[in-house]
Amino acid sequence: MRREMFLPTLLVTAVLLSLSSARPPHIVLIVADDLGWNDVGWHNPQMYTPNLDKLARNGVILNSSYVQPICTPTRNCLMTGFYPYHTGLQHFVILDDTPGYIPTNFTTLPEKLKQLGYSTHMVGKWHLGYCNWKYTPTYRGFDSFMGYYNGREDYYTHEEGTGYDFRLNKDVHYLPQADYSAHTFARRAIDIIISVDPQKESLFLYLPFQSVHEPLQVPEKYEKIYSNIQNKERRIYCGMVSALDEAVGNITNVLRERGFMDNLLLVFTSDNGGNFQYGANNLPLRGNKNTLWEGGTKGAAFVYSETLLKKKNYENTEMMHAVDLFPTLLHVAGGSPDPGIDGMDMWPTISENKASPRTEFIYNIDDIDKNAAIRVGDYKLIEGIPGQNNGWYPLPTREVHFQEEDSVGRLNVDIQYQLFDIKHDPTEHFDISEKYPDVLEKLKQRLAEYKKSLVPAFSPPPDPKANPKYYNGTWSPGWC
């Protein structure tokens, strides 16, 4: 009797399981632009980010997840699984009028996911080259693209410098100017979600928001949340973070309503540290965006899934880097990367809290600025000048515009190597290079080893042919 009842139940369960596992999970990858370490609710109670906090706390908070110091290089890592010093994108960012790109022989994440049957959509900032159509999102693996090519622009008018920069797929797309980009992008993401049947297709949605990069702009209602903050830049900046949070809340609500949540992985990460000159804060970490310090390279990040994580509601402190998302997401999708990529599969590390396979990583190697940093175990070696802003920048309290660099931020230019024990000194207060010459030597040798495979930085000069005046006032492909 018992057995008879048990068997059909088992069969039904098995059928249901095989049905739900037949389809590779939906993947939503959200990137916040220039979001500081101290600018999310799970690090700083000043921040109002209820949606992000809930996802982070019910998922896995990544507390040792590294990114590149600036936009283009990090996005390169996400799309290729290679460090930028292997793609030529290690020096600075692609500027509006410089013809940089990801070389086309690198297979992108959406290209790989398409091979596995995914629908691939991108909403937001590209910043990986557009001087020729072949470098733009719909030629690099995305079925659709809504967003902009360059690194920054006005949140309402989509003007950047002397040109307009906003597209729907390949077409210039003019929007009502009252629209704030966090709302525009959330609506677009929701339209895409609604257009996909979660039982019939697997969705890859790449959502690199404009928020919270400068210019400092936000609708008043979000700024008002922070009326207790006296510093105007900080108040607007925090409002921008809360608008982003609301966008993520709206998107996850629709994912839930539409039945995506029982087979979905959501990843959230910043692309680099915050910029204190525009209201962001990285405390207690040292440095700023565009520096090799932890404040420039340790990303605020989490992973959320209701069904795919064996272990959740915890903080993961295992070492990982932005290049690792490529093989990790491919693993979740049921695929595997081509051999030779820099990224490592972190799925067992994230989903079961197993030890990370990664014991070393490269923060960057910039052959033009002549600086580099490497991590080996607990130790970090910095070679050369790590950047321009080298201090610990406090939360702004006064009505100041751009804070001048404080004295702790100035670095002796004669210093060639600095060594830190990140495990015991995560805020990089104590250079131990003189105390541990053997460790210093070991890390120098490891760095020299990595440098052997360096591809020289591709850093072409500005090209006047990029001028929007040749393209009806828009930043457009066609000049390389």
Q: Which residues bind ligand NAG (CB under 6 A)?
A: 63, 103, 105-106, 172, 182-183, 186, 243, 246-247, 250, 285, 298, 315, 317, 426, 455, 472-473
Q: Among residues 303, 258, 298, which one has the least CA distance to residue 28?
A: 303
Give the nearer residue to ligand NAG in terms of CB position, either 63 or 403.
Answer: 63
**d(Cα 191, Cα 193) in Å, to the nearest integer?**
6
Give the nearer residue to ligand NAG in terms of CB position, either 377 or 473.
Answer: 473
**d(Cα 127, Cα 76) in Å, to the nearest integer?**
9
Give the nearer residue to ligand NAG in terms of CB position, either 186 or 323.
Answer: 186
The CB-of-338 to ligand NAG minimum distance in angstroms stands at 7
* Cα 41–Cα 46–Cα 52 angle in degrees, nearest 5: 20
Structure tokens at 433: 């290079």
**d(Cα 251, Cα 191) in Å, to the nearest integer?**
10
**d(Cα 142, Cα 112) in Å, to the nearest integer?**
11
**d(Cα 150, Cα 164) in Å, to the nearest integer?**
10
Rg (CA), the chain: 22
Kindly list the distances between the CA atom of residue 269 and the CA atoms of 52, 192, 383, 424, 469, in Å, as whole numbers in the listed order: 11, 21, 26, 24, 36
The CB-of-251 to ligand NAG minimum distance in angstroms stands at 8
Count the helices and strands in the chain (H runs, E runs): 11, 18
Backbone angles phi, psi at 183, to 5 degrees: -75, -45
**d(Cα 125, Cα 152) in Å, to the nearest integer?**
8
Contact call for residues 428 and 284 (beta carbons, < 8 A): no
The CB-of-28 to ligand NAG minimum distance in angstroms stands at 15
Residues labelled as active-site residues: 71, 127
The CB-of-6 to ligand NAG minimum distance in angstroms stands at 44
* Cα 241–Cα 242–Cα 248 angle in degrees, nearest 5: 95
Residues 6+ apart with CB under 8 A from 363: 66, 68, 69, 292, 297, 372, 373, 374, 375, 380
**d(Cα 128, Cα 151) in Å, to the nearest integer?**
9
**d(Cα 121, Cα 119) in Å, to the nearest integer?**
7
Give the nearer residue to ligand NAG in terms of CB position, either 8 or 176.
Answer: 176
**d(Cα 63, Cα 57) in Å, to the nearest integer?**
12
